[in-house]
Structures are given as C-alpha cells and as structure tokens.
Amino acid sequence: MQKAPIPADEVQRLASLHQYRLLDTPRELEYDRVSHIASQLCLTPFALVSLIDEDRQWVKSSHGIDVDYIPRDLSFCAHTINQQGPLIIENMRTDTRFWDHPSVIGNPNVSFYAGVPLRSSEGYAIGSLCVIDQKPRQLTSEQHTALKALADQVALLMELHRTNNNLRVAQAEAEALAHQKAQLLATLSHEIRTPLHALEGYTQLLLEQPTHPDQQSSLQRIQTTGRTLVSLVNNILDYSKLQAGKLLLEAIPFSVAELIQQAVDMQAWQARQKKLQLTTKLDATIPQQLRGDATRLLQVLINLISNALKFTKEGGVSVEATVVERTDADVTVLINVIDTGIGIPAESLATLFNEYTQVSAATTRQYGGTGLGLAITRQLIDLMNSRMEVTSEVGKGSCFGFRLTLPTVDLTPPTVDWRTAGKLLAVDDSPFNTKMLVHAILQQGGQVDAFNDPVVALDAARQTPYLSMLLDLHMPELDGYELAGELRSIQPDTPIIALSADDSIETLEKVRTSGFDGFLRKPFLPQQLMHLLDELIKPAQGMARGSA
Ligand code: ADP
C-alpha cells in the first residue's frame, strides 16, 4: 500500500484549511445533502465530504457509512489533494498503490473510488468530495461533470461558513467595544451628573427662599447653566444607550399639559434673555393623565424648544398640543414646536436628523452645539412609535412636531389621597437625595420619614405602617433589593418603589423579579413620583395589594 505524499505546499495548505474553522464542527444539513446527492448522482452506496489536516481525513459529512475520521496514512482522499483534477480508481484490486489496503481487502471492501479536491479560495486543496463503491465501475461523463460541480458547491458552502464566522467574530468584537464605550460613558456621565444634580437641587432650594432680586437672577443663571449641562450630558449618555439598543421607555402616568409647561418654564429664562415670546397653546381636551415616559418626552421638548430659541432672533416660539384622535383606550396628541427663526433650506431637511449634522459650518461657529440633539430626538420619538415631522421656510421659521399615541389612565377605582392618608418611607444613602425627595413630597403636602441608613429604616417600618416605601437601589450596607425583601416581610401590602439612575435592562429585570411595585429613573420629575403614588396606593390597601 502506498502512503500519499505530503503536498509541496503543505504549510500554506494547512494554514488555509484552519482559517475555515470547520474541523471538528458538528454535522450540518447542507453538507449532508451534498454527500447524499453525490451518492445518488453517481449511484454509489457511499459518499464523503472530508478535510485533510495534519494527520487525519476528518469527515464533515458522510452518506451510507458512519465514520468520523480516517488516519491520513490510510486515507484515499490524502492522494486526491495531490491532484489537480479528480482522482478516479475504477478498480482498487488491480491498482498497485491500493490492492493491499486494509479497506480494500477487508471491510468495507472498497473497489471503486472517485474523489474531487476541494479548493480553498486561496487555491489550496484542503479536502475532498468522494464517492465509493464496493464493486469496480466507471463514471459517465455526466456523473463526472456533476461531481465536479458539486465539489464547487461545497467550496462555496465552506466560503460562506468562513465569511459568517468572520462576521460573527467581528460583530462580537464590535459589540464588546461598544459595550466598553457605553460603560465608560455611563460611568463618566454618572460622575458628572451627580454633582450637577446637587447644584440644581441646592439652587432650587435657594430660589424658593426670599432673596434679593439681583441674587434671584444670578441664581436663575446658575440654574439654567446647570440644566444646559445636564441636558448635554444626558444627550451624550442617551445617545450611547440608543446606539447599543439599551434605552428602555417607562410607562408611568403623567400629565402632558404639566410636562409642556415644565419644558417651557425651564427655557423661559433663555427666551427672556433674547426678548422672544415663548408661549403654549394646549388643547383643553387632552386627558389629565396619559401613560408614557415623561422624562424622555421632556428631553425631546427641551431639545426642540432650545433649538427653536437658539435659531430665532425675532418673534417667538410657540408650543402647541392638540388631540387629533381618541379611542376608548388611548389618545393621539399632536405636539408642535413652532418658531419664527432662520428656517432650514429644503435640501438640508433630509439629513437634519442624522448624527453630527449641522446645516452649515457657519451654524456651529455662530450657535455652537453638538449636532446630536435632533438625532437623539428622532430616535426617542421612533422608540415611542412615532415619527418626527418638520416643515420649514428659510427666513420665516420652522415647525418640528410629532404625533404620540399614549394609553389613557383609568382614574377609577378612586385613588387614595396619599398626601393626607398617612406617611411615606424614603431610604437613600445619599443625604442630598433624601433631602430632595423629602422636599418634593413636603411641597406636595405629603408626609415622609426619610433615612440614610437602611437598618434604621427597617426599625421604623416595624413601628409605623407606611403608605408606600421609596428605596434607592445602590446602598453600601444593605442594598435596595435586600431591603425590599425585608420590608416586604414586615409590611406585605405596602407598595415598594425602586429609585435608581441605573435603568439598564439588567437592573430593570432584577427590579421586576425582586418584588418591587414600581420603578422611577433618577432624576425624576416631582410629577412622575406623584402620579406613580396616585396609581399604586389603593384604598383597599391592607386587604388586597395593588397591581404588582
Ligand atoms: P445642535 O443644535 O447641537 O447643533 P441639533 O441636532 O439639535 O444639533 O440640530 C442640528 C442642526 O439643525 C442645527 O445645527 C441647525 O443647523 C439645525 N436646526 C435645528 N433646529 C432648528 C430650528 N428650529 N431652526 C433652524 N435650524 C435648526
């Protein structure tokens, strides 16, 4: 028996073979089909698709015979890869190279062999497609041609396999990189946002105290500057979340009218400075409460209103909201932000919502900005199942709008007025956060016991029945999840709300499975907290728990 010689290009051939990452992979239907068809076409009982590595003929697929690999020294296909074209042996027993081969003189008694080399895209013979019979025979020229064509198909299949593998690897790498980037941005933004919120909170506290008019306007200036910074940081953070498909929307009751008013109030100072009118026109038939993501909608409104003010020199900006459709379950509201500003040329409208797009370089010089605002706005509105609409005329002004369909909130059964019915419990390890929380609740006329130490809060919960408990999630000693479990065993019927700046999918899932009744993303608007409490605190509390 003659062993197959090692091909002259063996090193390159093996390198080419290994690039396919096909060795030792499981069976696959596509390859099995090829060996099946090959044996049917050539009318042979056996067919194999194999790869030849350093020391084996490894079988990717076989028909009629069950074999994983054959030692290279005993492999017929190892001879085939030395051929330019097919290797055909019509009768093994009369061929001096093979007549004493163990598979010829014994089981499975190979008599006829026809193999076609499988070539890699670099041109190396890395394997073979072969058919085998137990009696001597010949192939017709049609069978010959068909076998070669099938071998070409296998080569294509392998190529596809390799491309897919490479894409998968590239995708995994890109995802890992995007994840790292998002993580870094999240950490950075958190680090920047925390002091900014302290700034915002303390300024608000000072503004609510009697101050000298001069101080009042300085404080407002600090507040506006701080808010601009917060929205800039939020935009960058959200952009990275949107890119990673990790931005989730909340569905919490809120008031559209209040929200628009809030967005306008936040920009009023900017309007006053530029001596622009900033007005609202709100349809009185918009339901009191709709369910949606108030903070994201506020962000959209702020982006649109601040752009409108930025690109307007004379006249003003009007925010209008109209009900355009109403069903039993939901309401569609059209919200438009209309300005009398510089307008946008028709040819720029199509790319306006792309990242980093500014209508002209002169715009950047004159007005600043990152070009991210509208890209984020569009993606947020897309997430809300709507579409940004814009009309504009150069020199006359622009109108940016969208239609939002939001579920109405059933205000029956009657809710309890938590402001007068009892006390709330608030736990956050940050004294600043508890201070802000207490302030917001007191301002609404409610009562609250607030603690920085979860263990002290547990003691309090053993003494006092609470209407609802608000828990920060990340606390060093006892985290919000553990605390919720313990509180739940003390006051099983009290709704528990999680508060966290981390609204990643993982966190929301953990919150859902840890027995919380609600989640509020920090920083939240006072109205979001109020509406959530309205919803969760039920009159029958103590007998049956509200919707969990
Ligand atoms: P930024 O304002 O940070 O540059 P945006 O994505 O918010 O980024 O806006 C992109 C560009 O769209 C702006 O630079 C400006 O050229 C144009 N634009 C946006 N809103 C208006 C508007 N109301 N009037 C005129 N141009 C606008």
> 320-330 in b/e burial notation, b at 16+ Cβ within 10 A?
bbbeeeeeeeb
Above 70 in pLDDT, residue 37? yes
Q: What integer pLDDT is reported at residue 544 of this predicted model?
A: 35
Q: Is residue 214 part of a domain?
A: no
d(CA 506, CA 150): 48
Q: What percent of the chain has pLDDT over 90?
A: 62
Which pairs from 69-74 meet CB under 8 Å and 24+ separation?
A: 72/4, 73/3, 74/101, 74/102, 74/103
Both 476 and 386 in one domain: the answer is no
Residue 342 CA: which ligand 1 atom is closest? Answer: 25
Instruction: Determine the average pLDDT of the residues in 178-199.
Output: 74
Cβ of 358 less than 6 Å from ligand 1: yes
Read off the pLDDT band of 237 (50, 70, 90).
confident
Give the Å distance between the CA of 307 and the centre of ligand 1. 6
Taking the C-alpha atoms of residue 488 and residue 79, their distance in angstroms, rounded to an integer, is 74
The verdict on residue 256 lying in a domain is: yes
Question: Of the given ranges (89-93, 316-320, 442-446, 449-453), which has the lowest mean pLDDT?
Answer: 442-446
Domain range spanning residue 321? 250-407
Residue 524 pLDDT level (bands cut at 50, 70, 90): confident
pLDDT at 213 over 90: no
Task: Indicate which CATH number applies to the domain containing 526.
Answer: 3.40.50.2300
Is the pLDDT at 332 greater than 80? The verdict is: yes
- Return the H-helix or E-strand segment holding 459: helix 454-463
Say whether both 261 and 379 belong to one domain: yes
Q: Report yes or no on 289 lying in a domain.
A: yes
The mean pLDDT value for 260-274 works out to 89
Task: Give the domain-ending residue among 114, 140, 168.
Answer: 168
Which pLDDT does position 359 carry in this prediction?
65
Ligand 1 pocket check: which of 358, 380, 381, 389 to mutate, most ligand atoms within 8 Å of Cβ?
358
pLDDT of residue 123: 95
Tell me how many domains the chain contains. Answer: 3
CB of 300 within 6 A of ligand 1: the answer is no
So what's the pLDDT on residue 471?
Answer: 96
Q: Same domain, yes or no, for 403 and 276?
A: yes
Separation CA 395–CA 452 (nearest Å)? 55
371 pocket-lining for ligand 1 (C-beta < 6 Å): yes
For residue 547, what pLDDT band results from cuts at 50, 70 and 90?
Answer: very low
Same structural domain for residues 282 and 330? Answer: yes
Tell me what pLDDT residue 453 has.
Answer: 94
The answer to whether 94 and 112 are in contact (CB under 8 A) is: no
Which pLDDT band holds residue 140 (cuts at 50, 70, 90)? very high
Nearest CA to ligand 1 atom 19: 307
CATH number (domain holding residue 21): 3.30.450.40
Among 374, 407, 440, the domain boundary falls at 407
104-118 mean pLDDT: 96
Q: Is the pLDDT of residue 541 over 70?
A: no
Looking at residue 356, its pLDDT comes to 63
**Residue 295: which pLDDT band, with cuts at 50, 70 and 90?**
confident
Q: Which residue has the higher pLDDT, 8 or 521?
A: 8
134, part of any domain: yes
Distance of CA 165 to the CA centre of its chain: 23
Predicted local distance difference test score (pLDDT) of residue 540: 56
Of 171, 187, 305, nearest to 236 (Cα)?
187
Which residue would you say has higher pLDDT here, 313 or 184? 313
Which range is least confidently modeled, 12-16, 76-80, 105-109, 533-537?
Answer: 533-537
**Would 95 be classed as within a structural domain?**
yes
Residue 374 Cβ inside 6 Å of ligand 1? The answer reads: yes
pLDDT of residue 360: 64
**pLDDT score, position 545:** 38
Residue 240 C-alpha to ligand 1 middle, in angstroms?
20
Atom of ligand 1 nearest to the CA of 397: 24
Position 245 pLDDT exceeds 80: no
Contact 466, 513 (CB under 8 A): no
pLDDT at 61: 97
Q: Check if 359 has its Cβ closer than 6 Å to any atom of ligand 1.
A: yes
Residue 506: per-residue pLDDT? 79
Q: Please indicate, yes or no, whether residues 452 and 403 belong to a single structural domain of this protein.
A: no
Ligand 1 pocket mutation, candidates 311, 317, 355, 356, criterion most atoms within 8 A of CB: 311
- In the reported structure, the alpha carbon of residue 78 is separated from the centroid of ligand 1 by a whole-number distance in angstroms of 67
Distance from the alpha carbon of residue 46 to the mean position of ligand 1, in angstroms: 69
Indicate which CATH number applies to the domain containing 371.
3.30.565.10
Residue 233 pLDDT exceeds 80: no
pLDDT of 193 above 50: yes
Ligand 1 within 6 A of CB of 342: yes
- Residue 390 alpha carbon to ligand 1 centre in Å: 12
Is residue 231 scored above 80 in pLDDT? Answer: no
Q: Are both 400 and 438 inside the same structural domain?
A: no
Check whether 54 has a pLDDT greater than 80: yes
On whether both 423 and 385 belong to a single domain, the answer is no
Output the residue whose Cα is nearest ligand 1's atom 12: 358
Nearest residue CA, atom 3 of ligand 1?
Answer: 369
The pLDDT-based confidence of 523 (bands split at 50, 70, 90) is confident
Domain match, 386 and 432 both: no
Same domain, 396 and 447: no
Higher pLDDT, 275 or 548: 275
Q: 127 pairs with which residues across the strands?
A: 51, 118
Write out pLDDT tens, residues 335-346: 999 999 999 999
Q: How far is the CA of 331 from the centre of ligand 1 (A)?
A: 29
Residues 443, 342 share a domain = no
Highest mean pLDDT among 265-269, 395-399, 521-525: 395-399
Mean pLDDT of 520-524: 81
Task: Give the ligand 1 atom nearest the CA of 303.
Answer: 7
The atom of ligand 1 lying closest to the CA of 360 is: 16
3-state DSSP of 152-177: HHHHHHHHHHHHHHHHHHHHHHHHHH
**Among 100-104, 141-145, 375-379, which stretch is predicted with the lowest mean pLDDT?**
375-379
Q: Is the peptide bond before 213 cis (omega within 30 degrees of 0)?
A: no
Query: Is residue 239 one of the residues assigned to a domain?
Result: no
| 130 in a structural domain | yes
Residue 392 bridge partners (DSSP): 398
Atom of ligand 1 nearest to the CA of 371: 8
Residue 348 CA to ligand 1 center (angstroms) comes to 11
* pLDDT (0 to 100) of residue 152: 95
Q: Is the pLDDT of residue 479 over 50?
A: yes
Residue 200 has pLDDT above 90, yes or no: no
Ligand 1 centroid to residue 371 C-alpha, Å = 7
* CA 476/CA 255 separation, integer angstroms: 35
Looking at the structure, do residues 257 and 156 belong to the same domain, yes or no?
Answer: no
C-alpha of residue 236 to centroid of ligand 1, in Å: 16
Q: Which of 352, 382, 407 is the last residue of a domain?
A: 407
**Is there a domain that residue 243 lies in?**
no
Ordered DSSP codes for 274-304: TT-EEEEEE-TTS-S-EEE-HHHHHHHHHHH
Which of 38-52, 166-180, 217-231, 244-258 is least confident? Answer: 217-231
Tell me: the pLDDT tens digits for 412-467? Answer: 666 678 888 899 999 999 888 898 899 989 988 999 999 999 999 999 999 999 99
Q: How far is the CA of 393 from the centre of ligand 1 (A)?
A: 14
Cβ neighbours of 21 (radius 10 Å)? 13
Closest atom of ligand 1 to 376 CA is 6
- What average pLDDT does the segment 168-195 reach? 79
Does 548 have pLDDT greater than 60?
A: no
Distances (CA, A) of 298 to 167, 255, 309, 321, 437: 39, 11, 16, 14, 20
Residue nearest to atom 14 of ligand 1 (CA): 358
pLDDT score of 546 more than 70:
no
pLDDT confidence of 543, banded at 50, 70, 90?
very low
Task: State the pLDDT at residue 410.
Answer: 77
CB 469 within 8 A of CB 427: yes
Counting from 1 in the atom list of ligand 1, the atom nearest the Cα of 353 is 6
Asked if the model's pLDDT at residue 186 lies above 80, the reply is no
Nearest atom in ligand 1 to 370's CA: 3
Range 498-515 average pLDDT: 85
402 and 483 together in one domain: no
